[in-house]
Structures are given as structure tokens and as C-alpha cells.
């Protein structure tokens, strides 16, 4: 019984709260059960080997300590939380379109999945056990962020005017007002129901990726942000809270009861159609070769990227403790002057592409006879664009010069002009947009799009048939953990391939 007895002895105790099971005991149990059911040489097909390797290297035992106080002192003995989480991750890695009920049946049909989860084959958990586990990771009483009873919603959100264009913000000046409010209250951290999930994800998963060197330089981290639509249902479901229709009143202004109160209708610019669901705003490590995610935030589908960024950036800054974010890489949908001010206030250098359709993209005047083009290039009185002539990095200003041949000045070396970041951080960023450094840094912005693609396409995020924000967060964080586990395995694949021939000499 050597090697797996410690694991069983912990599971057989009569303690009602879960008992911490070291990861080494889980590894011993898996090895014993594989040899018992698949032969002394441990026969694993090639498809199952990466699953076994990823779960073998991922220590999830800290989830037990995190949830210790959430279990009752009365009732039946608690299941091992680490095994339940491990099993849910296994579901996402093998059958992401499958529901919990189907997965419980799959554990009974496929012993290898039960073994890798850490369950005794004669004592598998039920569907309710999984959902009880999810409830303990969500400290809020309600599984939604907003109340179900709401005012009757208006029509569909505005869509982009041109093909592929995102929906505009519904209220002019909203981003600027939100930024001012956020900057005043940036020091006040508001607790969120998903904080417990993020604490575990950051302390046990992201920290391991940092230790493996998969996030980049933690002292000057580059992050990228972008939003993506999450479709949850074909249309919003609601029912009346009054009896007006029974009394013959067809239209009324009474509130309605929504089954998904945190969702609404938005415009999907990529698919060019309306959808009902969430707007998932994700922040990822831009310098990560594996495009690893760092922080998710579910917002209503109608919310604009710029609004979502303001909320997500402040929350992320308050919660991320593993390093300092030095740069934030964003697309042209975030090109608002107030966002530059917010990121500068947070100590981040913004790398944002100019929005060519912005209303501010008009030639602006200065105190002199020099004008500024929409791209931030000075224009001399003769109407010619001036040429860059060096950068003063200490004062964050650039020198521009017009050639003597232009005739706009009698100076020997031609007309000179300085632009300062403090004058307009949007048009005159610290790192000029036409510099090689800008191009080198900004080309990593697409990492967030690849990260979102992995969640939505590879792990089929939208296939979750969930009706609550709680379960959507469980699914998102589970997929994010899988992304990090995939990166760990890929970065050490050569070592695991060598080990494979030792542990599984008969792998097929």
C-alpha cells in the first residue's frame, strides 16, 4: 500500500471540513491507480499523456486552504476541493462543450479521467458536489452582479457605421467622466465576487508562469487589453413583474424580471450582427510568447471597449501584486485623451494607435503660426510637414525642423519647433509613433487577440450553457488556468518527452 495510503487515510477521516492533501500524495495515488488498472508499464495513449503531464506538474492543493472556512462543521465529510477543480480543468481540456451532468457520466465511463482527477474509482462525486464547490468560490449571495428585476430595456445598441467598425459609445463624454471619477476613487478597492477566483489564479497559477519566465520582465511588464463578445443566448429572456397584460394593458412601464440580468444586446463588429450576452474585457501579458491572460472582466454586451478598459485597468492595478505594469498596449478603439491621462496616472506608458475616424483628428492650432496635423506632426506656415530632429527624453519633448529651403524662416538652419508630451499626451506620446521602439513594442498588441482566440475557439468558451454570471466566471477562470498549464507543458516538452519513455514505455 506504499505510496497511496496517505492519500486514502486523509479521505477516510471523519472531519467535516476538507483536509489538505499534498500534491505529492495525489501524484502517488495517480501512479498507483494507473499501474493497477493499466498494467505495470502504465499504458497511456499519446492523447492522454499531455493531460497526465499537465495535471502532474500543477499543484492545486492551495484551493483547500482557500476554501477551508467556507465548509460547514456539520453534515457529511467534504470532498477534496483540489480534486474537484482538477476534474473541472480536465473537462475543459478534453470536452469543453460538455456540461457537468454529462461529465459526471463521462468519469464513470472513462476511468482514466477519474484517476487523473484524483477520485477513487468506487466513490465518484455527483453533479451537486461540483456545483456546491463552485458556490464556495463565489462569496456573493446572488449568482449575478445586478438584480433580476430591472426596468424594461430599450432597443438594440447602435452598430458601427462601416464594415468591421465597433459600436460607438452611447453617451458623449462618458469615458472622460468615468476616468475622473475613477481617478478620485482609485485608492478605494471595492470587493468583487470574483476576487477569490483571482486570488487563487494569481497566487498559484500566474506566479508559477512568472517563475518559469513565461510573462516577461515583471519589473516592467507590458500588458495588452481588448474586449470580445460572449454570446450566451439567442435573445434576452424576461417575464413581467405585473399583471397589466391580464388586465388588458398591452404596454406598461413596470420593471421586468430577467433571467440573465448582467447581459444585454450588443453589436459584434467581427461577425457583423447583434448578439445577447457579455462583453468580456481581457488583459494579458503582451511579452509572453504564449499570450497568457492575466485579468478578465465581464461587462454588459453594449459596453464600449474604452469604458471597459477604464474599469478593468483600475481593478487590475488594485489587485495585481506580482510586478509593475510599465506599458499598456491598446487598439484605436481606446484612442481617447482621458485614457492616456488615466494610464499616466497609474504609472503606465500608453501605446495606443490613433483612431483615423476620431473627431479630434483635425489640424489644430498652437500659440504660434505652427499647426499640428492629425498624426501629431507640426506643419509650418508654408503648409509643409516638419521633419523630426531629435528627442529630449528628460523633458519628454521632440524637436522638429523645417529645411532652410522652405523659406518659412530666416534662421540659418531653418525653422525649429518643440512638441511636449504634457501638451497633448495623445498626439505627442513619450515614445513617438514613428520610432522603431514604438513599432517593436506595439507589434505585441496582437497577443491579446490570440489569447482571446484560444479561449473562444480552442476552448470553446461560448459553448457553456450557463445562466449565471458566477458560472461564466468559473468557466473563464478555468480556461485561463488551462492556458497557463498548456504553456508550462510546451515550455518543458522536451523534458516530459524524455520522462514519457521512462514512465510509459508502452505508450501508443
C-alpha 266, offset from chain centre: 19
pLDDT at residue 103 above 70?
yes
Where in the chain are the domains?
5-136, 149-357+442-491, 364-425
DSSP letter assigned to residue 99:
-
Instruction: Pick the range with the lowest mean pLDDT from 328-332, 458-462, 493-497.
Output: 493-497
Query: For 137-191, what is the HEC assignment?
Result: CCCCCCCCCCCCEECCCCCCCCCCCCCCCCCCCCCCCHHHHHHHHHHHCCCCCCC
DSSP letter assigned to residue 203:
I
pLDDT band, very low/low/confident/very high, at 129 (cuts 50, 70, 90): very high
**Burial class, 297, CB count within 10 angstroms (exposed 0-12 / middle 13-18 / buried 19+):** buried
pLDDT at residue 88 above 90?
yes
The pLDDT of 209-227, averaged and rounded, is: 95
Each residue of 112-124: pLDDT tens digit? 999 999 999 889 9
Report residue 128: phi and psi, to 5°: -60, -30
Each residue of 482-502: pLDDT tens digit? 999 999 999 998 887 777 666
- CA 326, CA 303: separation in Å to the nearest integer? 26
pLDDT at residue 40 above 90?
no
pLDDT given at position 348: 95
Higher pLDDT, 88 or 247: 88
pLDDT at residue 324 above 60?
yes
Each residue of 235-252: pLDDT tens digit? 788 888 898 888 888 888
- CA 430, CA 421: separation in Å to the nearest integer? 6
pLDDT given at position 507: 47
pLDDT given at position 165: 64
pLDDT band, very low/low/confident/very high, at 389 (cuts 50, 70, 90): confident
Instruction: Pick the range with the lowest mean pLDDT from 177-186, 284-293, 411-420.
Output: 411-420
pLDDT given at position 383: 84
Domain 149-357+442-491 belongs to what architecture?
2-Layer Sandwich (3.30)
pLDDT at residue 506 above 60?
no
- CA 353, CA 335: separation in Å to the nearest integer? 7
| Average of per-residue pLDDT values in the chain | 87
> Would you say the pTM of this structure is higher than 0.85?
yes
pLDDT given at position 146: 93
Residue with cell 500608453: 350
Q: Which of 119, 99, 128 is nearest to 21 (CA)?
A: 119
Amino acid at each position: 500500500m506504499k505510496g497511496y495510503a496517505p492519500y486514502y487515510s486523509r479521505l477516510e477521516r471523519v472531519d467535516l471540513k476538507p483536509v489538505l492533501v499534498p500534491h505529492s500524495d495525489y501524484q502517488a495515488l495517480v501512479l498507483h491507480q494507473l499501474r493497477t488498472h493499466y498494467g505495470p508499464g502504465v499504458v497511456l495513449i499519446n492523447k492522454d499523456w499531455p493531460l497526465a503531464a499537465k495535471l502532474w506538474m500543477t499543484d492545486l492543493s492551495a484551493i483547500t486552504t482557500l476554501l477551508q472556512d467556507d465548509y460547514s462543521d456539520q453534515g457529511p465529510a467534504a470532498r477534496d476541493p483540489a480534486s474537484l477543480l482538477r476534474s473541472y480543468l480536465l473537462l475543459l481540456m478534453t470536452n469543453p462543450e460538455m456540461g457537468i451532468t454529462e461529465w459526471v457520466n463521462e468519469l464513470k465511463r472513462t476511468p482514466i479521467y477519474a484517476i487523473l482527477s484524483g477520485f477513487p474509482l468506487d466513490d465518484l462525486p455527483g453533479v451537486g458536489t461540483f456545483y456546491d464547490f463552485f458556490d464556495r468560490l463565489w462569496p456573493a449571495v446572488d449568482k449575478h452582479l445586478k438584480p433580476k428585476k430591472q426596468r424594461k430595456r430599450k432597443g438594440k445598441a447602435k452598430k458601427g457605421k462601416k464594415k468591421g467598425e465597433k459600436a460607438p459609445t452611447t453617451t458623449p463624454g462618458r469615458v472622460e467622466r468615468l476616468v475622473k471619477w475613477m481617478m478620485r476613487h482609485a485608492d478605494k478597492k471595492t470587493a468583487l465576487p470574483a476576487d477569490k477566483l483571482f486570488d487563487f489564479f494569481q497566487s498559484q497559477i500566474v506566479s508559477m508562469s512568472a517563475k518559469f519566465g513565461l510573462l516577461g520582465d515583471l519589473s516592467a511588464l507590458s500588458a495588452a487589453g481588448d474586449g470580445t463578445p460572449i454570446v450566451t443566448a439567442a435573445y434576452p429572456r424576461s417575464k413581467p413583474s405585473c399583471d397589466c397584460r391580464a388586465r388588458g394593458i398591452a404596454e406598461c412601464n413596470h420593471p421586468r424580471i430577467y433571467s440573465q440580468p448582467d447581459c444585454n444586446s450588443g453589436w459584434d463588429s467581427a461577425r457583423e450582427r447583434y448578439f445577447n450576452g457579455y462583453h468580456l474585457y481581457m488583459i494579458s501579458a503582451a511579452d509572453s510568447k504564449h499570450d497568457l491572460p492575466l485579468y478578465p472582466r465581464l461587462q454588459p454586451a453594449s459596453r464600449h471597449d474604452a469604458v471597459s478598459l477604464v474599469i478593468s485597468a483600475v481593478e487590475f492595478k488594485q489587485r495585481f501584486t506580482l510586478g509593475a505594469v510599465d506599458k499598456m498596449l491598446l487598439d484605436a478603439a481606446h484612442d481617447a485623451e482621458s485614457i492616456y491621462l488615466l494610464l499616466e496616472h497609474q504609472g503606465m506608458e500608453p501605446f495606443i494607435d490613433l483612431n483615423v475616424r476620431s473627431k479630434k483628428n483635425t489640424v489644430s492650432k498652437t500659440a504660434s503660426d505652427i499647426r499640428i496635423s492629425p498624426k501629431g506632426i507640426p506643419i509650418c506656415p508654408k503648409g509643409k510637414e516638419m521633419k523630426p530632429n531629435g528627442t529630449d527624453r528628460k523633458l519628454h519633448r521632440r524637436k522638429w525642423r523645417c529645411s532652410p529651403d522652405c523659406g518659412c524662416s530666416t534662421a540659418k538652419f531653418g525653422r525649429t519647433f518643440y512638441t511636449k508630451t504634457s501638451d497633448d499626451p495623445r498626439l505627442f506620446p513619450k515614445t513617438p509613433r514613428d520610432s522603431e521602439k514604438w513599432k517593436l513594442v506595439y507589434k505585441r498588441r496582437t497577443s491579446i487577440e490570440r489569447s482571446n482566440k484560444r479561449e473562444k475557439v480552442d476552448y470553446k468558451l461560448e459553448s457553456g450553457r450557463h445562466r449565471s454570471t458566477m458560472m461564466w466566471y468559473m468557466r473563464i477562470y478555468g480556461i485561463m488556468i488551462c492556458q497557463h498549464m498548456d504553456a508550462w507543458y510546451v515550455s518543458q516538452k522536451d523534458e516530459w518527452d524524455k520522462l514519457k519513455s521512462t514512465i510509459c514505455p508502452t505508450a501508443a
